[in-house]
């Protein structure tokens, strides 16, 4: 598992260091502060390959360094340090056998996925292990299309894709199909469970069947499902596919399969309705349990989010002994990271006004301005009043335009409008 990351001269800050919890790590912060960047760095540290474009040094950096620490099967490995070579435009790593983190899956926000398998991608040349395979891919990178239609690497068909594998597993009544059904059920909400329907031919001229989802309003081809459902289904499939292929590769190599998994998810709330958002991350942890055959198996989840409902959903299971919330924010013209910020808020509105999201109120901006003006008026702070919201009548009219009749702020404002309230003012 990934334990430590330290950056200097690269990323959104001149220097940044973080320690990661053993189970759940949640990255929060405004747009542009580096959450996705840290997930890319985490993937590189775990797999020694880039999921997309390699990281580049900061414009004014004369030296750029990335160091990290992994915990292998038995102990924490020594720190690995890579100093960027400007002449070669790359991050070099020593040619020695790295610590093995287990299976690594990265769900990117663009709908693509990356998979690293210790049985299929680990160490192309290791004489002591009898490995000398220069054609072995460093990882498997799926774009949004190849997840569904399949992936070829170095001229070999590495993955048949969700559509063909799903139908094949279903028609063969394979264990993978039942496992997929369990994972899909875990990733869905009770009101709209992702239940598997019968495969069906969708378009004239296609020579294959397409998986379907059975819904309360009919059977829907998976290719026609909503964007949120397709992302959840793609994640379920990649979990099962990676687990299955790792076991098969381990069997061919006469080695025990690895039960460890590191899962990176960038913005799990993407395309999801709020009722899915508040269940999805706990459901991912539950879905992973369906894959594991050993109670001692380890899972580390590193995820970024902008959604208060995602954080609210974690309150029942968050354990500071094995989980952490890592918050990125701009202070003094540079990005700083604060760890150990977890504190139960109770609901999504409270999360929005917490230090994590730092909103004054969980409202529209015009409503927030009107209420701030009303509060300034009630405390007699006329200098804080803005143009157009200087009189009681102007503020009252704006509040009536913006707030519903049942808004709790009305109680305070109406009291201030009463004759008794005016005498006190």
What CATH number is given to the structural domain containing 103?
A: 3.40.50.300
**Closest-CA residue to 231 (of 296, 147, 309):** 147
- Exposed e or buried b for every residue in 269-292, given b needs 16+ CB within 10 A? bbebeeebbbbbbbbbbbbbebbe
Distance CA 343, CA 347 (A): 12
For residues 100 and 213, state if they share a domain: yes
Provide the domain limits for residue 406.
Answer: 365-424
Q: How confident is the model at residue 297 (pLDDT cuts 50, 70, 90)?
A: low
Cα separations (Å) of 360 from 11, 300, 312, 364?
A: 29, 33, 18, 11
The band of 258, judged by pLDDT with boundaries at 50, 70 and 90, is: confident
Whether residue 285 is found in the same domain as residue 383:
no
Q: No. of H helices and E strands in the chain?
A: 12, 19
- Do the domain assignments include residue 358? no
Residue 424: pLDDT over 50: no
Q: Are residues 98 and 224 in the same domain?
A: yes
DSSP 382: G
* Residue located via tokens 């989010």: 305
pLDDT digits (tens, 9 = 90+) for 179-234: 999 889 888 888 888 899 999 998 888 889 999 998 888 899 999 999 989 999 99
Q: How many domains does the chain have?
A: 2
Q: Which residues contact 153 (CB under 8 A, 6 or more apart)?
A: 137, 140
For the entire predicted model, the pTM comes to 0.89
- Write down which residue in 320, 352, 384 finishes a domain: 352
Per mean pLDDT, which range of 181-190, 229-238, 290-299, 399-408 is the poorest?
290-299
Q: What residues have CB less than 8 Å from 311, skipping those under 6 apart?
A: 26, 28, 305, 325, 345, 351, 356
- Considering the domain boundaries, does residue 65 fall inside one? yes
Residues 420 and 395 in one domain: yes
My answer on whether 146 and 70 are in the same domain is yes
What is the percent of the chain where pLDDT is above 70? 92
What is d(CA 279, CA 314) in angstroms, rounded to the nearest whole number? Answer: 9
The pLDDT of residue 383 is 86
- Label residue 419 by pLDDT band (50, 70, 90): low
Residue 357 is assigned to a structural domain of this protein: no
- Confirm whether 60 is domain-assigned: yes
pLDDT of residue 425: 38
- Kindly state whether residue 134 falls inside one of the protein's structural domains: yes
Tell me the sheet residues that pair with 300. 262
Cα–Cα distance list, 219 to 194, 199, 200, 291 (Å): 11, 10, 10, 27
């Amino acid at each position: 598992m990934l334990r430590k990351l330290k950056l200097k001269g690269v990323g959104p800050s001149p220097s940044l260091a973080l320690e990661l919890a053993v189970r759940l790590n949640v990255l929060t912060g405004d747009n542009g502060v580096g959450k996705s960047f840290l997930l890319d760095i985490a993937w590189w540290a775990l797999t020694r390959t880039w999921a997309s474009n390699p990281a580049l040094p900061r414009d004014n950096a004369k030296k750029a360094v990335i160091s990290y620490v992994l915990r292998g099967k038995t102990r924490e490995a020594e720190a690995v340090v890579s100093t960027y070579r400007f002449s070669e435009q790359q991050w070099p790593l020593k040619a020695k056998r790295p610590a093995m983190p287990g299976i690594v899956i990265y769900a990117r926000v663009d709908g693509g996925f990356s998979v690293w398998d210790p049985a299929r991608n680990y160490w192309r040349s290791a004489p002591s292990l009898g490995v000398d395979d220069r054609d072995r891919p460093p990882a498997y990178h799926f774009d949004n299309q190849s997840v569904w239609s399949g992936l070829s690497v170095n001229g070999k068909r590495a993955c048949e894709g969700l559509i063909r594998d799903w139908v094949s597993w279903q028609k063969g009544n394979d264990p993978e199909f039942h496992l997929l059904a369990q994972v899909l059920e875990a990733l869905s909400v009770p009101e709209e469970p992702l239940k598997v329907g019968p495969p069906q031919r969708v378009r004239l001229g296609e020579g294959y069947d397409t998986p379907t989802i059975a819904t309360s309003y009919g059977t829907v081809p998976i290719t026609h499902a909503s964007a949120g459902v397709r992302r959840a289904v793609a994640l379920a499939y990649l979990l099962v596919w990676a687990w299955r292929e790792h076991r098969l590769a381990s069997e061919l190599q006469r080695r025990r399969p690895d039960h460890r998994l590191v899962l990176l998810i960038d913005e799990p709330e993407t395309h999801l309705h709020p009722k899915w958002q508040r269940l999805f991350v706990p459901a991912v942890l539950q879905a992973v349990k369906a894959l594991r055959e050993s109670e001692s198996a380890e899972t580390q989840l590193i995820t970024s989010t902008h959604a208060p409902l995602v954080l609210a959903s974690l309150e029942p299971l968050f354990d500071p002994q094995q989980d952490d919330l890592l918050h990125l924010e701009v202070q003094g013209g540079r990005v700083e990271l604060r760890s150990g910020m977890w504190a139960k808020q109770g609901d999504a509105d409270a999360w929005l006004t917490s230090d994590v999201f730092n909103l004054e109120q969980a409202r529209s901006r015009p409503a927030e301005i009107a209420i701030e003006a009303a509060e300034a008026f009630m405390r007699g702070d006329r200098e804080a009043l803005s143009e157009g919201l200087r009189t009681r009548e102007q503020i009252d009219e704006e509040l009536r335009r913006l707030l519903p009749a049942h808004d709790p702020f009305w109680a305070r404002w109406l009291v201030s409008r009463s004759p008794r309230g005016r005498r006190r003012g």
